[in-house]
Amino acid sequence: MTLLIFSVVIWCAVWAMNRQIANSPDRDDRAARIFVPVVLGGATLFLWEGLVTGLGVSPVILPAPSDIAATFAASTAILWEDFVQTVLKGALTGYVIGCTAAFVIAVLIDRSSFLTRGLLPIGNFVAALPIVGIAPILVSWFGFDWQSKAAVVVVMVFFPMLVNTVQGLRETDAMQRDLMRTYAAGYLQTLVKLRLPAAMPFVFNGLKIASTLALIGAIVAEYFGSPTRGMGFRISTGVGSLSIDLVWAEIAVAAIVGTLLYGGVSWIEKVVTFWHPSQRR
């Protein structure tokens, strides 16, 4: 009980401190911008710990963060195996294939304004559809192993990426293209030196959306059949056998991987599109 009260007090103290920082003149500091959310996250984890142990919540319902961390540390071998199966083989393969294919096709159809006008509304519509539902069909086509997961990911990331790239390629205005023409630049030169760089913010937007979709696709596809490894497999069997702490450890892995993937794409975006207003400091 004391832990519960203690954690609540800590959480409120952290909030008050964040309030102080947010209203102080140093608030735009890089350190402050990172410090504030990180401390709040830590305090929330501690509050979770306090609530679970203080109120005596059964670990079958919600394990404490310390239990999850202990399970995480004890079962790194299983977690690594699942990580390789789901993320490296399923999600990343599909992500690379799907995004590359969408990018290449976007550049190709961009040459014809007819195709662009025809494909853009359809692509926009398909991007809004619940494509994850296609997972069981693809699992029955490509078998239980990671190939079917990669296929689901390819289908899921393809349309958001296509739509964003096509939109990005249309970003340059007539003035800029005219300038390239006065330089006697050919199609390829205009594409490489003007239109692709201008499209990069959109391309990276698509890549970021696709990075979260890739993990979702790979995990959902495993619910429909997988070899006896993989994050989705472990989660669905773990829920069934009530080894909830292992499930939470997998969720932690998924969260870390998702954040790292997104962060990685954002970092590359920062390097590539340093000139864009949204990246300037």
Partner 1 sequence: MKTAFPVLVVLAAIVALWYAAVAPMNIRTALDQAERAGAAVEPAGARERLEVSVWRLMIDNPDHVSEGYALDRPRLPTPVQVGEELWKTTGEMVLKGRAMSKRSLIYHASITLQSTLWGFLLGTTLGILGAVAIVHSRVMDMSVMPWAIISQTIPIVALAPMIIVLSAQLGIEGRGVPKAIISAYLCYFPVLVGMVKGLRAPTASQLDLLRTYNASQRETFFKLRLPASLPYLFTSLKIGIASALVGTIVGELPTGAISGLGARILIGDQFGTPLAIWAALLAAAILAGVLVTLLDILQRVTLKRMGMPT
Which residues make up the interface to partner 1 (CB under 8 A)?
15, 18-19, 21-23, 27, 32-33, 36-37, 40-41, 58, 60-62, 114-115, 117-119, 121-122, 125, 128-130, 132-137, 139-141, 211-212, 215-216, 219-220, 223-224, 231-232, 235-236, 239, 244, 247-248, 250-251, 254-255, 258-259, 261-262
Give the nearer residue to partner 1 in terms of CB position, either 114 or 280.
Answer: 114
Give the nearer residue to partner 1 in terms of CB position, either 135 or 161.
Answer: 135
Give the nearer residue to partner 1 in terms of CB position, either 172 or 211.
Answer: 211
- Look up residue 27 and give its DSSP letter: G
- Kindly give, in sequence order, each residue whose CB lies less than 8 Å from that of residue 205, ignoring residues fewer than 6 positions away: 164
Output the smallest distance, CB 60 to partner 1, in A. Answer: 7
Output the smallest distance, CB 223 to partner 1, in A. Answer: 4
Output the smallest distance, CB 157 to partner 1, in A. Answer: 13
Cα dihedral: 221, 224, 229, 233 (round 10): 90
Output the smallest distance, CB 50 to partner 1, in A. Answer: 18
> From CA 170, how far away is CA 5, in angstroms rounded?
57
Give the nearer residue to partner 1 in terms of CB position, either 72 or 180.
Answer: 72
Give the nearer residue to partner 1 in terms of CB position, either 154 or 194.
Answer: 154
Looking at residue 250, its amino acid is E
> From CA 131, how far away is CA 152, in angstroms rounded?
9
Output the smallest distance, CB 191 to partner 1, in A. Answer: 22
Contact of 219 with 238, CB cutoff 8 Å: no
Contact of 212 with 258, CB cutoff 8 Å: yes
3-state secondary structure of 172: coil
Radius of gyration for the chain, computed over Cα atoms and rounded to the nearest angstrom? 23
Distances (CA, A) of 3 to 6, 9, 52, 192: 5, 10, 10, 60
Output the smallest distance, CB 181 to partner 1, in A. Answer: 25
